[in-house]
Structure formats: C-alpha cells, structure tokens
C-alpha cells in the first residue's frame, strides 16, 4: 500500500510539474489589441492582424527598442476578431480567414488556411541579426528564410531584365538601377502575397532548401503576409496596404511620340502639326532634356535654352491641336540652378556621382570639367517643397500636362561603398536607398494634387518602389537596348512589375539605344532590320498601359519610315489606329484597376489553371479578354546581336552593323507558334475563327499584324476612328460579343480628366452575355456626369467566322440598339 501511495504521489507530482510547465509555456506571450508579442530564440516577435487576411510580422533582437514607420504601407490596422490558443509548443492565432502558428521551440511563424492547409512557413531558425555599423549608427544586417512548396510558383519583385517570368531558382540583387526597378513584394500560385518592408539593398534568393530576403540594414525584420486566394486577390491586398491607383486622364491612353531629344520649340510643335496633317492619331508629345540649357544648369525647370523662346506659346500651340505635352524633369540639379543654391546650404543634396558626369557634352565624359550635378534628398519634406516650388513656377504655370521624371532611381555612377554612408533626412542613404523613387514621385504627386484637382496627375517615371501606384505614375523600363532579345525581355519584365501591385508600366518602343542600326543607313529608319524590330515593338507597345515611342540615335516619328501606301508606314498607322479603337475597352480596364484593384497587363497564370503557362514569358492578357502574343523573333531580317547598355550606348562611334543588309520585302506571309490556354475557347481577332484552348497552334502572320485572340464569353466595345482620344463622343460604339461562355463587361465613362469621379461623377453600363439563352443584356446606366450622353447607339455584333473582323467599324451589325440608359435585352 505504501509503495502504491508513493507511486500515486509521484504521478501526481509529475502531472503537476507538467501542468506547471504547460501553464508557463502558455503564459510565454502577451496578447495585444492586434495579436501577440512573444520572445523566441533571443528575439522579440510580434504578430499583428491588419485585417482578417493581412498579417504583419515584426522581429528584433531581444530587449532592443526600435521605431519603424513604413514608407510604403499607409493602411492603419483595423480592429480584427481573433482567438489565441496554446497547443504544446505552438501559439495559434486565428481570424475568420486565416490561421497563424508561432512555434516557440523552433521560432518559426507559419500561415495556414482555416482548414489547416499550409500556405507559407518560415524555415526553422530562419531569422538572423548581424551587428552592422551604419554610418555610425548601431544596427543590423537582417535575413529571413522561408520554406516554399516545391511545386508553387512565385512572381513579382518589380521589373527585372532576366527574360524569365517565374522567380523560382532566382538570385536577385535588389538595388534600384536604370533598367531594373525593385519592389520587394511577391505573389504565389498558392494564393498569397509577401511584402518585405525594407528599403536597403536586399538580396532575394530562391533555393531548393529555402527562399530568403537578406537586407544590408534594418533595425527589425518587418514583413506582411497577404492572403488573396489567388494572384489578383493578393495584389488587391497589397494595394489595400500601400494605396490604390487613381485614374489617369483618357488622353494618357492614346499614342505618345518622343525621342532623345527635340532641340527646339519649333521642332516639338512641328511634330504635332505633321501628325495632324497626316491624319495619324496622336495624344501626346514629350520634351526630353536640355531645354534648360547647359549641364551646369541641369534640371533648372526653366526654358533657358534660347531655342525655346516662348514656352507658354509652345504649350498653347500644342493644346490648340488637341494634344498634350509632358516634359523631362530630373532628381538632381546643376550647381548654377536656383534649386541647387537653395538646397545646398540646408544639406539637402546627396554628394555622389550621377548623370551627367561632365559639364561638357561629349563622350566619353570629359572629367576635367565635372558637371557638379548632385541628386537632392527627397526623404526631406522641405526639400520636396522646394522641388515643387520651382516646378510649379517654371513649368506647371505654363500649362505642362505631366512630368517625365527621369533618373528617379537615381543614377548612381562612379559608385563608392562610402556613398551609402551619406546622410539623408531619414538616416543613411544605405538605409533608404531603394525607396528613392517612391519619395520623389510622391513629392511631386502630393504637391500637384494639393495645388489643383482640375488636371489629373500623370507622371512617367523610370523607377518605382512599393506603394508608388497611389501617386498617379506610369513606370517605363529604362534605357533598354534596341535588340530582339531586349524586346523579349520586356514582356516578363512588365508582367512581373504588374504582379508587384503597380499596374501601370510601359517601354521605349523600338528600344532606347539604336545606334547599331545606323551604319551605312543614314538615320537608320530605312534599315530593314530596324524597321522590322520597330514595328514588332510598336505592336507590343499597343497592348501595354501606355503606348509611347522613344529612343536615341534613330528618329521614331511615323513619317520618317515612309509615306502612306508603303508597307512599314501602313503597319505603324494600322497599329496606332487599333490602339485608338480599343480606348473604351482600355479606359474601362483602368476603372477596373481603380475601383476593383485589377491589373491591365496580366500574366496568363493569373487567369488560367494551366501548367503550361506558369512560366510563359511571351504571351499575356491585356485586360481580361485579349490574349496578346507579340512576334518577338525576326522573321524577315537576320537577328543582329546588338550589345550596348546604359553606359556604353551613348558612344555614338560604336555602331555595330558594318555593312548594309540585303534588300528586304515585307510582303511575304510568315508564321509563329501561339499557345492558347486551356479552360476556354478562343477567337482569332483578325479572322474570327474559333479554336479550343489547351493547344499550341501555328499562326500565319504579316508585318502589320501580330497574333491576337479573344476569350470566349468576352464583350468588347470598339470606339470611333479619331485623331485624338476625345475627338468624338462614344455615341455609336460597336459592341462585339464573342459567344462560347457566359460573360460580362462594364463600360466606364467620366469627364475624362479632373477628379470629379472621386465624388461620384461617372457612369457605368454593364453588359451580360447569357450563353444558354443567347441573349445580351445591357443593364441600366448607373451614375451620371457633366456632358454624359443621354442617348446613344450600340451596334451589336455577335462574332462568328463568317463576319468581318479586325479593327472596329464593321460594315454590318446584327442589331442596332438606341440606348437611353434603361435596361434592355438583345437576342442573337
């Protein structure tokens, strides 16, 4: 009996110890209003619910206080219901959408669905802090490892010129550059997004055993997990965190002509005049650098060049031809500018090498006469005020319509490691380096919006960072080389950028550095090798959020390539006309971005559960209906290998093509392979032929057409033939219905400029196609705005292979509907 009693007491004591340990473990966290705080492996860890689907994770060395205010995230955490349970070594938090598990033994945080399916997990012992002296401030280099599923695909991280779509097995050194724009946000085919909220140089690396972010400096590890359900939902979550994209004016979606550079006021206005004389559509002209004069006056934001004697008249002349003008502004200033002289005594300039390196225009730069140009400190709110003061006085006041913010990363030349020690308003340049474009673009955007709501902000910028979509900016891919490989690279570059939650992107049509095509060809415009590349690039550019022709060495205006009736000229004109016919579709897609967090340039993996498209880098959807398969290989000319970059490209003596190519005829039909994703049927845009998805086809092509396919169930409006976007009201739209599946489309209209749409001044009309009953329902018009059409005509076309296809303007319609804003149904 005595032994039995002792055994029972021992068992009791063991249970008591176990219970006490369990209770102690259970108490090893502190509940907060947003989640929990705990200590793991010599780290303070905090998990915060920003809403039921967005979770923030903060880590820092134990006991080390820090203060972190995000530059990208503007959302404040909302009150979210959640529960906390302790299950052994795991602290389990659960919202109505998501489970978060904190393993107190291994230190890892993981994210799971409510049913327990794994979404993302940190690798065990995956967080490290390494002491780092950041220009005299004690901080850390930080690293976080994650464990991804072998079969998931990830995308985003901004724009890279890798030529690949998927980020698996990639190592990317994320430091902003001329042709690389880094955004530390990725999305997964498992339906989540991950935002690494750090602004210092960062290495992303995906290996079979782990995926990691390693940043040079950080007082803490700070990342956000976004449960989106799919890629588009994850993008929407990132925009909820970092800001929504406003509407651009309708004219921003027309055709833009530019080059490096128009050298006089008369030349700039003359280009617009010539387009109007030719009847070729044009909405915008861009003035590149040097309108301010010499390099010592770099970016003076004044027309000091004597070739621009009447800037107000210049702008008025362009406006009187119903076109718009944007102008090059930079993020650095020459030593003789008013901005430099005001900012320098206040410590608002960053003293490192930037463009231009010489005060004398020559190549290579004459270092005996340094330009003295220095970037400004956009992290400093007073510096941003000064920047806008001169921009407003010198350029906005004369009616300039938008800003071309060049070198917004900025150019960092003659790099020295000590440059990162330079002090900014927010600490070392190292600490905030990658956020430079966000701060400088944001400074202009916020000031203009405060000054005027009559004109929508339109900024064309060379670089971007997380959150920049909220500033009315369209990012271009930098000074890319003029080559077929460069063209091929632009497609995955634009798609990954778009999947980084920033929806507006474009590229220099034809490539920027094109001097290699001039040797023996005068200005290069009659070189068949360049003609073919340019036309194919233009056709791709017609299906990007901004259609803009630009480059150096070879002029890009249509009339330089020939005249009406000649094959290259006609191919260019046809492509521009196609862009304009799609403006109702494009403008409605822009509203879908602003209103529903959508994406215009869509990787096929966003919309199709098809293993063959997870790494497809040469096709995409434009909007949700048009499959674009650009021709990205030379078909008529040899594919010349051209090697230059943003440094060597300025050497005008380094032209690569030493001999003229043989005469080329572009009349012969060629062919290219196109993959049609499974899960839907597709219509050939040019022929209306219907084909099943899930197959690769051989598509016949000509120099004036690229493969375009329309998804079954699509409803697409086509606008009138115009010379500029707002020339004609949309009072007689052609509405094409592509049968084969149920579908819908919402036509959006507003006042085309200003911000009245934010006050409800817009209208929407929803079109629905019922495949079973073969009926098109045109819904009641919702909303109103000044100048809205009270009555209009919809010319309905039910597409099949026996009807005319191609650019809008069918001669035969199936139904002609007079629409007065009331719902109506049309039977096929």
Give the catalytic positions in this structure: 406, 409, 479
Strands (DSSP E) found in 352-421: 374-375, 402-405
How far apart CA 623 and CA 589 sit, in angstroms, is: 6
With beta carbons less than 8 A apart as the criterion, state whether 408 and 439 touch. no
Backbone angles phi, psi at 342, to 5 degrees: -85, -35
How far apart CA 641 and CA 483 sit, in angstroms, is: 7
Angle, helices 583-596 vs 567-581, to 10°: value is 50
SS3 content of the chain, % helix, strand, coil (to 5): 25, 30, 45
User: Taking the chain, what is the end-to-end CA distance rounded to the nearest angstrom?
Assistant: 94
Local structure of 567: helix, strand or coil: helix
Place of tokens 């022929």: 687
Burial 227-255 (b: 16+ CB within 10 A, else e): bbebbbbbbbbbbbbbbebbbbbbbbbbb
How far apart CA 502 and CA 176 sit, in angstroms, is: 16
DSSP string, 669-718: -EEEEEEE-TTSEEEETTT--EEESSEEEEEEEBTTB--EEEETT-EEEE
How far apart CA 449 and CA 456 sit, in angstroms, is: 8
- Cα 10 to Cα 14, 135, 318, 351: the distances in Å are 6, 60, 94, 73
Angle, helices 311-320 vs 265-278, to 10°: value is 10
User: Which residues are CB-neighbours of 277 under 8 A, at least 6 positions away?
Assistant: none
**What is the CB-side half-sphere exposure of residue 532 using CA atoms within 13 A?**
24
Run of H or E residues at 384: helix 381-394
Per-residue DSSP letter, 165: S
């Amino acid at each position: 009996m005595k032994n039995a009693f002792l055994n029972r007491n021992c068992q009791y004591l063991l249970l008591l110890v176990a219970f006490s340990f369990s209770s102690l473990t259970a108490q090893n966290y502190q509940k907060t209003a947003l989640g929990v705080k705990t200590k793991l492996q010599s780290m303070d860890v905090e998990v915060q619910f920003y809403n039921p689907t967005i979770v923030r994770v903060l880590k820092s060395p134990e006991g080390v206080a820090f203060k972190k205010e995000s530059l990208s995230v503007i959302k404040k955490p909302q009150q979210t219901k959640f529960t906390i349970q302790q299950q052994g070594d795991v602290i389990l938090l659960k919202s109505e959408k998501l489970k978060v598990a904190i393993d107190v033994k291994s230190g890892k945080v993981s994210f799971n669905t409510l049913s327990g399916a794994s979404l993302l997990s940190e690798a065990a012992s995956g967080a490290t802090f390494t002491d780092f002296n950041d220009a005299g401030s004690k901080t850390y280099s930080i690293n976080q490892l994650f464990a991804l599923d072998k079969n998931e695909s990830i995308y985003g991280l901004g724009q890279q010129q890798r030529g690949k779509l998927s980020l698996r097995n990639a190592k990317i050194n994320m430091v902003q550059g001329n042709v690389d724009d880094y955004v530390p946000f990725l999305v997964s085919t498992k339906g989540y997004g991950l935002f690494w909220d750090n602004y210092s140089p960062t290495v992303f690396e995906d290996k079979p055993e782990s995926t990691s972010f390693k940043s040079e400096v950080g007082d803490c590890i700070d990342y956000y997990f976004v449960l989106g359900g799919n890629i588009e939902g994850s993008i929407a979550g990132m925009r909820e965190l970092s800001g929504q994209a406003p509407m651009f004016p309708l004219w921003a979606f027309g055709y833009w002509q530019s080059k490096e550079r128009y050298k006089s006021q008369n030349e700039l206005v003359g280009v617009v005049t010539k387009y109007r004389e030719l009847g070729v559509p044009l909405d915008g002209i861009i003035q590149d650098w040097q309108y301010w004069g010499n390099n010592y006056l770099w970016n003076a934001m004044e027309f000091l060049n004597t070739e621009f004697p009447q800037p107000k008249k210049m702008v008025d002349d362009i406006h009187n031809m119903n076109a718009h003008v944007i102008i090059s502004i930079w993020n650095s200033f020459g030593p003789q500018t008013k901005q430099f002289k005001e900012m320098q005594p206040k410590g608002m300039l960053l003293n490192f090498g930037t463009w231009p390196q010489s005060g004398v225009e020559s190549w290579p730069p004459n270092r005996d006469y340094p330009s003295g140009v220095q970037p400004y400190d956009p992290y400093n709110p007073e510096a941003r005020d000064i920047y806008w003061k001169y921009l407003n006085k010198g350029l906005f006041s004369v009616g300039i319509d938008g800003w071309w913010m060049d070198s917004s990363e900025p150019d960092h030349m003659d790099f020295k490691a000590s440059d990162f020690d330079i002090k900014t308003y927010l600490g070392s340049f190292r600490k905030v380096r990658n956020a430079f474009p966000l701060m400088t673009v944001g400074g202009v955007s916020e000031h203009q919006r405060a000054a005027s709501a009559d004109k929508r902000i339109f900024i064309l910028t060379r670089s971007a960072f997380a959150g920049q979509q909220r500033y009315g900016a369209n990012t271009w891919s930098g000074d890319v080389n003029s080559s077929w490989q460069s063209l091929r690279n632009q497609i995955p570059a634009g798609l990954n950028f778009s999947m980084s939650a920033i929806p507006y992107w474009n590229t220099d049509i034809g490539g920027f550095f094109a001097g290699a095509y001039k040797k023996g060809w005068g200005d290069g415009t009659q070189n068949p090798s360049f003609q073919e590349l340019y036309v194919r690039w233009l056709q791709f550019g017609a299906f990007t959020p901004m259609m803009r022709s630009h480059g150096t060495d070879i002029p890009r205006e249509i009339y330089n390539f020939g005249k009406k009736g000649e094959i290259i000229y006609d191919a260019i004109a046809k492509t521009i006309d196609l862009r304009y016919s799609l403006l109702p579709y494009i403008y409605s897609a822009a509203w879908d971005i602003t209103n529903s967090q959508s994406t215009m340039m869509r990787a096929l993996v966003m919309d199709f559960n098809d293993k063959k498209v997870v790494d497809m880098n040469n096709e995409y959807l434009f909007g949700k209906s048009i499959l674009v398969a650009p021709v990205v290989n030379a078909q008529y000319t040899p594919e010349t290998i051209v090697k230059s970059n943003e440094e060597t490209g300025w050497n005008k003596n380094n032209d690569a093509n030493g001999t003229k190519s043989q005469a080329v005829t572009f009349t012969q039909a060629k062919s290219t392979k196109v993959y049609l994703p499974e899960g839907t049927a597709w219509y050939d845009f040019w022929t209306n032929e219907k084909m099943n998805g899930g197959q690769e086809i051989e598509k016949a092509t000509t120099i004036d057409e690229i493969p375009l396919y329309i998804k079954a169930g699509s409803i697409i409006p086509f606008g009138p033939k115009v010379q500029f976007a707002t020339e004609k009201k949309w009072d007689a739209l052609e509405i094409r219905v592509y049968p084969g599946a149920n579908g819908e489309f919402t036509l959006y209209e507003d006042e085309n400029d200003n911000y009245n749409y934010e006050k409800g001044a817009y209208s929407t009309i929803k079109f629905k196609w019922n495949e079973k009953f073969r009926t098109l329902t045109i819904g009641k018009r919702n909303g109103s705005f000044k100048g809205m059409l009270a009555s209009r005509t919809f010319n309905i076309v039910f597409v099949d292979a026996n009807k005319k296809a191609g650019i809008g303007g069918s001669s035969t319609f199936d139904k002609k509907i007079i629409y007065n804003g009331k719902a109506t149904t049309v039977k096929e």
